[in-house]
Amino acid sequence: MWKQRRFGRDRGIYGLVEEPDGPGNDLVVMFAGLGQAMSEKNYFFSNLRKYLARSGVRVVQFDYRGHGDSFGELGDTTVSGMKRDALEVLAEVLEERPAERIFLIGNALGGIIALQTAAELTEKGEASPVCIPVLLAPPFRAFPEKEALFGREALQALEREGKLDAQLLVPGFDYYTLSDFNREPYDFFMAWGAHMLYLHGQCISAGMLDELLELDTARLVKEYGGPLHILCGSEDEDARTTAEETDRVILHRMRGYRYFYQHPAAMDQWITEAASIVRSDNGERE
């Protein structure tokens, strides 16, 4: 049975916890992408939570500050702030009920937050639970320079104001065929899990943009000292290359679609694969 919760020092992080039907020592925490609520696009994480409900694991979903129902606005949010929110939620959840293993499942930017959170927990020593990040379609590809992506005028306005409506950074109104969008800035935000239909009307801060541009997914994956899983489209060669260079990475190549939200059948495939990782005996390479 799931229950709504409030987390954080100011009780400003909204979430929910699904308690297992029976005994179990595993915890699953879900991390949505940039600008997304805890349910993520097409309710992916909510459906995954229901899928896992009878698996004997405790499942936590939450909205970062500035996202969904939690306090704040997206324009005041940064990547480092999102990681702090995740650590606050985890500290409370683990204090209530310790776990032997934690599966941190994140989409796009949420996968990076999950990986950073796992790394910080692991650094606390042997007494910490085993952390197993599961990254859904993390962006490995290199992006153009900031000026090439967004243009001088938009960046000047962003620097002057400190934050800017995403509509001014990525102009366009045709959310279905993308006929009036410049694809480079559009693809940049999509890679981090943001969907223009929901991102437009919200602000992006200069700090958020700078932190996104500084992220290096391949480096973070290689530096992480424990086992981790990456789910990616079958044509994502950058993910394949990184996995081949790091023996702790288990790569799951999903057929037909780059992102789970491209088709209902794709979402079912990604949910089934993510759930199978949690349900496996040890969560590591066999």
Residue 54 CA to residue 85 CA, distance in Å, equals 27
Higher pLDDT, 231 or 2: 231
Nearest to 39 by CA among 13, 8, 16, 10: 16
Higher pLDDT, 174 or 127: 174
Q: Are 163 and 203 in contact (CB under 8 A)?
A: yes
DSSP 262: G
Place 285 in a pLDDT band, splitting at 50, 70 and 90. very low
Fill in the amino acid letter for 171.
P
**pLDDT reported for residue 69:** 95
- The full set of domain ranges for the chain reads 2-141+216-279, 146-211
Least confident of 125-139, 197-211, 217-231: 125-139
User: Given a cut of 60, is residue 127 above it in pLDDT?
Assistant: no
What rounded mean pLDDT belongs to the chain?
Answer: 91
- Which residues on adjacent β-strands are paired with residue 176? none
Q: How many CA atoms lie within 13 A of 95 on its CB side?
A: 8
**pLDDT reported for residue 283:** 43
**pLDDT reported for residue 181:** 96
User: Given a cut of 80, is residue 96 above it in pLDDT?
Assistant: yes
| Average pLDDT, integer, range 102-123 | 95
Least confident of 10-24, 25-39, 181-195: 10-24
Place of tokens 């059948």: 265
User: Given a cut of 90, is residue 137 above it in pLDDT?
Assistant: yes
Residue 243 CA to residue 223 CA, distance in Å, equals 12
Place 282 in a pLDDT band, splitting at 50, 70 and 90. very low
User: Given a cut of 80, is residue 228 above it in pLDDT?
Assistant: yes
User: Given a cut of 70, is residue 105 above it in pLDDT?
Assistant: yes
Burial of residue 17 (CB within 10 Å: 0-12, 13-18, 19+) is buried
Listed in sequence order, the DSSP H helices in 97-144 are 109-122
**pLDDT reported for residue 51:** 87
**pLDDT reported for residue 199:** 95
Percent share of the chain, pLDDT over 70: 96
Nearest to 65 by CA among 117, 112, 10: 10
The three-point CA angle 205-61-254 to 5° equals 85
Q: Are 173 and 185 in contact (CB under 8 A)?
A: no
Residue 186 CA to residue 195 CA, distance in Å, equals 9
**pLDDT reported for residue 169:** 96
Residue 60 CA to residue 45 CA, distance in Å, equals 10
CATH number of 2-141+216-279: 3.40.50.1820
The sign one gets for the Cα dihedral 219, 224, 226, 230 is negative
Kindly report the number of other CB atoms within 10 A of residue 196's CB atom.
21
Residue 184 CA to residue 91 CA, distance in Å, equals 38
User: Given a cut of 70, is residue 258 above it in pLDDT?
Assistant: yes
**pLDDT reported for residue 248:** 93
Would you put residue 3 in left (φ > 0), alpha (ψ -120 to 50) or beta?
beta
Q: What is the pLDDT of residues 138-169, one digit of tens each?
A: 999 889 999 999 999 999 999 999 999 999 99
Q: Are 278 and 57 in contact (CB under 8 A)?
A: yes
**pLDDT reported for residue 125:** 63
Q: Are 38 and 68 in contact (CB under 8 A)?
A: yes
Nearest to 82 by CA among 18, 13, 4: 13
Q: What is the pLDDT of residues 161-175, one digit of tens each?
A: 999 999 999 999 999
